[in-house]
Amino acid sequence: MSRAVRTMVALGIGVVVIAMLGPVAKAQPPRYPKPTELPNPYRLAADWPTMPKSMNGGHWGEVIRVHVHGDGNIWVFHRCFNTVPPGHATCIGRGAANPPILEFDPSGKLLKSFGAGLFAYPHAFTVDEQGNIWTSDVNDEATVLGMSAKNADGVVMGQEVLKLSPTGKVLMMLGKEGVSGNGPDTFDRPTGVAIAPNGDIFVTDGHAPNRHNSGRVVKYSKDGKFIKTWGHLGPAPGDFDEPHDIFIGGSQGRVYVADRKNNRIQVFDQDSKFIAAWKQFGQPSSVFVGKDDIIYVGASFADPAAKKGQLRGIVVGNAKDGSLKAFIPDPADPDKLDVGTTASGIAADDAGSIYAADVAAHNLRKYVKVK
- What pLDDT sits at residue 342? 83
Per-residue confidence (pLDDT) for residue 12, from 0 to 100: 47
Q: Contact at 8 Å (CB) between 196 and 253?
A: yes
What pLDDT is attached to residue 338? 85
Which of 138, 50, 149, 156 minimizes the C-alpha distance to 87? 138
Is residue 245 very low, low, confident or very high in pLDDT (cuts 50, 70, 90)? very high
Reported as a single tens digit per residue, the pLDDT across 322-340 is 999 999 999 999 999 988 8
Phi-psi region of 198 (alpha: psi -120 to 50; beta: other; left: phi over 0): alpha
Q: Is the pTM of this model over 0.85?
A: yes
What is the percent of the chain where pLDDT is above 70? Answer: 93
Mean of pLDDT values over 86-110: 97
What does the pLDDT read at residue 18? 39
Query: Can you give the pLDDT at residue 371?
Result: 78
pLDDT tier, 24 (very low <50, low <70, confident <90, very high otherwise):
low
Q: What is the pLDDT of residue 23?
A: 55
Q: Confidence class of residue 10 from pLDDT cuts 50, 70 and 90?
A: very low
Q: How many whole angstroms separate alpha carbon 134 and alpha carbon 26?
A: 46
Read off the pLDDT of each residue in 181-210 and give the average, rounded to a whole number: 98
Q: What is the structure's pLDDT at 14? A: 43
Q: What is the pLDDT of residues 276-322, one digit of tens each?
A: 999 999 999 999 999 999 999 999 999 999 999 999 999 999 999 99
Sorted by where each starts, the structural domains of the chain and their CATH numbers stand as: 39-369 (2.120.10.30)
**Of residues 252, 353, 251, 325, the one with CA closest to residue 292:** 251
Position 120 confidence tier, pLDDT thresholds 50, 70, 90: very high
pLDDT band of 341, cuts 50, 70, 90: confident
Q: What are phi and psi of 291, to 5 degrees?
A: -60, -25
Residue 355 has pLDDT above 60, yes or no: yes
What is the model's pLDDT at position 340? 83
Q: Is the dihedral of CA 126, 242, 136, 185 positive or negative?
A: positive
Is pLDDT above 50 for 356?
A: yes
CA distances for 330 relative to 44, 90, 357, angstroms: 11, 24, 11
- Quick check: 51 pLDDT over 80? yes
Q: Which of 61-75, 149-163, 327-341 has the lowest mean pLDDT?
A: 327-341
Phi then psi for residue 158, to 5 deg, are 130, 160
Chain length of the chain: 371
